[in-house]
């Protein structure tokens, strides 16, 4: 009997599962300065744990090998997609575009309202560098192709079906409060992956979205987006 999941599948599932488990733990710890354990620092712990797991499985990510680098045209397209998704993410916030109540925001400020740079840099680097890689490996590289074939590595990104994009985007949507923005992002990243055939394309786009969002949040004080 074939294994339910191959090593390549586990290499994409485990980092994501670790992040979600640690996210649940963070929800139980007060995220306030002066608490016995400031839950905001648990984000950094999550980044270290997930980053370590990605490093451990790195050889299993054939799609990220040096010969899969983007051309400058593909890179530029990915950056443009990332910026567009960011713009839509901050405007698609009407009540009917939300699934339930937004979770508590991450506020890297002290009681006097001063920025805590350690928290800020840790959050931004995790969101812009680690999370895009972890999420694209799970949502697009694994789950989207797995919908078409449990032996997902046999499915070329350029051959992914509309059904696979739709179903994986639906699950992606359910993992976010902003359901409409999540659909836009999911379709955009999946379409970029299918068009270029390279995982680095949605990873770069996702990184641009998260990176620009982080900078925007700091300058506007719209912490609810974090």
pLDDT digits (tens, 9 = 90+) for 76-101: 999 999 999 999 999 999 999 999 76
Nearest to 11 by CA among 120, 128, 142, 139: 142
Q: What confidence tens digit (pLDDT) does each residue in 190-207 have?
A: 999 999 999 999 999 999
User: pTM score, two decimals?
Assistant: 0.93
Dist CA 219 CA 211 (whole Å): 13
What's the length of the chain?
226
Residues of the chain with pLDDT under 50: 1
Contacts of the segment 157-163: beta carbons below 8 A, 24+ positions apart: 157/193, 157/194, 157/196, 157/197, 157/198, 157/199, 158/194, 158/195, 158/197, 160/190, 160/193, 160/194
């Amino acid at each position: 009997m074939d294994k339910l999941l191959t090593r390549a599948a586990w290499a994409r599932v485990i980092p994501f599962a670790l992040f979600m488990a640690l996210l649940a733990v963070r929800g139980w710890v007060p995220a306030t300065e002066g608490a016995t354990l400031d839950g905001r620092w648990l984000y950094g712990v999550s980044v270290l744990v997930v980053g370590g797991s990605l490093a451990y499985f790195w050889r299993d990510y054939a799609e990220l090998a040096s010969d899969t680098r983007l051309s400058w045209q593909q890179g530029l397209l990915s950056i443009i997609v990332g910026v567009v998704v960011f713009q839509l993410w901050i405007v698609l916030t009407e009540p009917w575009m939300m699934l339930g109540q937004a979770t508590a925001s991450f506020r890297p400020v002290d009681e006097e309202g001063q920025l805590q740079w350690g928290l800020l840099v840790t959050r931004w680097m995790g969101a812009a560098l680690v999370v895009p890689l972890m999420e694209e490996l799970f949502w697009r590289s694994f789950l989207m192709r797995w919908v078409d074939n449990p032996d997902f590595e046999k499915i070329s990104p350029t051959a992914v079906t509309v059904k696979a994009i739709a179903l994986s985007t639906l699950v992606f949507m359910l993992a976010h409060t902003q359901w409409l923005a999540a659909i836009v992002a999911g379709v955009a990243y999946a379409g970029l992956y299918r068009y270029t055939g390279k995982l680095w394309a949605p990873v770069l786009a996702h990184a641009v979205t998260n990176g620009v969002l982080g900078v925007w949040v700091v300058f506007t004080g719209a912490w609810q987006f974090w």
